[in-house]
């Protein structure tokens, strides 16, 4: 009898709890039925961009309803510097799982996405796990460690302070730093020819510590410099999909000045000579598409600057 009384009290308490929390319980049930669980959004790190581009934009709600929404979500997760992120496919988007799998397996597309973020938020590996229930988990490994970031920022701020003076025009500021980097850097021919090197030439650390770089090192350093100076910028890449002969691809910088996007290619302005002499060019300095194509003309056919305008839409003529 006593046990029945206690049981009755417990039941009454449970009923009261349900009554007072009916709204919360209903909300949970609706979310489960809709397959739209709540997504946890953390703030981006100090290097996350706040601008939108023509190809990718920063997501607002992280619920995808199209292929482009998926691209925006991946870009936003990378841009924010998140190491892990979980979002969900809504029931209305029938091809969501198929599309995210397609994007995840397209290394060239992911490379292009990577070019729109600050170099400190560029990834080396992006793993996507997909469940049949529509849950998508991203695990992102980034190129630079916190210690490397601190070193690079300190060095770049030191260079800017020593090289620039007040009152310089945009052109003069960028030219001085363009010339400084080239005059203090050698191209890593060995890595280009063999695919490996004793130098970290593919990163900003290789250029700043060892003064040896490939196009990745040149473009990362200059992207960080341009961001420090407050210029909207990203990197542009060509890949084997855009050229007619075997190549490892190429990457350079793009900057927006006075609402116009222009190319800067430090690698090609720092050519490798047979006699190991140093040269400094400005053929690929703040040029539009037409000027870049003109600079590429000559006896040797140059295709490394062929880029996909469906991705780098700011450069559509």
3-state SS of 168-202? CCHHHHHHHHHHHHHHCCEECHHHHHHCCCCCCCC
Q: How far apart are CA 205 and CA 143, in angstroms?
A: 11
pLDDT tens string 122-174: 999 999 999 989 999 999 999 999 999 999 999 999 999 999 999 999 999 99
Half-sphere exposure of 13 (CA within 13 A, CB side): 6
Q: Considering the chain, what percentage of its residues have pLDDT values greater than 90? A: 75
Q: Six-digit token pair at 168? A: 């310089």
> What average pLDDT score do residues 83-106 get?
96
Q: Six-digit token pair at 68? A: 């482009």
256 by DSSP, 3-state: which? strand
Q: Six-digit token pair at 43? A: 């703030």
pLDDT tens string 245-292: 666 689 999 999 999 999 999 999 998 877 677 889 999 999 999 999
| pLDDT for the residue numbered 193 | 85
| pLDDT for the residue numbered 262 | 98
| pLDDT for the residue numbered 142 | 98
- Which fold, 146-315? C8orf32 fold (3.10.620)
**Mean pLDDT (the chain, rounded):** 89
Q: How far apart are CA 316 and CA 261, in angstroms?
A: 10
pLDDT of residue 18 exceeding 90, the answer is no
Which H or E run includes 234? strand 233-238
Q: How far apart are CA 260 and CA 277, in angstroms?
A: 35
Q: How far apart are CA 155 and CA 213, in angstroms?
A: 16
pLDDT of residue 15 exceeding 60, the answer is no
Angle of helix 170-183 versus helix 215-228 axis, rounded to 10: 150
pLDDT tens string 183-199: 999 999 999 888 899 99
Q: How confident is the model at residue 26 (pLDDT cuts 50, 70, 90)?
A: very low
Q: What is the number of other CB atoms lying within 10 angstroms of the CB of residue 204?
A: 30
pLDDT tens string 53-76: 999 999 988 999 999 999 999 999
Per-domain boundaries in the chain: 2-34, 67-142, 146-315
pLDDT of residue 48 exceeding 90, the answer is yes
pTM metric for this prediction: 0.86
Q: Residue 96: which residues within 8 A CB-CB, separation 6 or more?
A: 64, 70, 89, 90, 134
| pLDDT for the residue numbered 206 | 97
pLDDT tens string 119-134: 999 999 999 999 989 9
Q: How far apart are CA 89 and CA 96, in angstroms?
A: 6
Q: Six-digit token pair at 172? A: 């003069």
Q: How far apart are CA 215 and CA 222, in angstroms?
A: 11
Q: What is the number of other CB atoms lying within 10 angstroms of the CB of residue 150?
A: 11
């Amino acid at each position: 009898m006593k046990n029945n009384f206690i049981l009755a009290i417990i039941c009454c308490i449970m009923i009261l709890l349900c009554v007072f929390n009916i709204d919360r319980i209903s909300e949970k049930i609706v979310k489960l039925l809709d397959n739209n669980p709540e997504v946890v959004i953390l703030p981006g790190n100090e290097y996350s961009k706040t601008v939108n581009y023509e190809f990718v934009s920063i997501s607002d709600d992280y619920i995808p309803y199209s292929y482009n929404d998926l691209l925006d979500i991946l870009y936003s997760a990378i841009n924010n510097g998140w190491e892990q992120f979980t979002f969900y496919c809504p029931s209305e988007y029938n091809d969501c799982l198929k599309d995210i799998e397609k994007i995840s397996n397209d290394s060239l597309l992911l490379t292009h996405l990577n070019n729109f973020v600050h170099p400190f938020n560029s990834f080396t590996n992006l793993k996507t796990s997909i469940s049949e229930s529509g849950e998508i988990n991203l695990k992102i490994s980034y190129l630079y460690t916190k210690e490397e970031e601190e070193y690079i920022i300190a060095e770049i701020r030191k260079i800017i302070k020593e090289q620039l003076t007040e009152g310089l025009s945009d052109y003069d500021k960028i030219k001085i730093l363009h010339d400084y980097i080239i005059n203090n850097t050698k191209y890593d021919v060995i890595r280009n020819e063999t695919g490996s090197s004793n130098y970290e030439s593919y990163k900003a650390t290789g250029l700043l510590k060892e003064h040896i770089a490939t196009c990745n090192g040149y473009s990362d350093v200059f992207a960080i410099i341009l961001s420090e100076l407050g210029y909207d910028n990203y990197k542009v890449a060509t890949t084997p999909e855009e050229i007619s002969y075997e190549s490892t691809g190429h990457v350079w910088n793009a900057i927006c000045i006075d609402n116009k996007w222009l190319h800067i290619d430090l690698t090609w302005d720092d050519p490798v000579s047979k006699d190991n002499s140093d040269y400094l060019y400005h053929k690929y300095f703040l040029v539009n598409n037409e000027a870049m194509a003109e600079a590429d003309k000559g006896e040797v056919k140059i295709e490394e600057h062929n880029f996909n305008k469906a991705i780098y839409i700011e450069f559509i003529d």
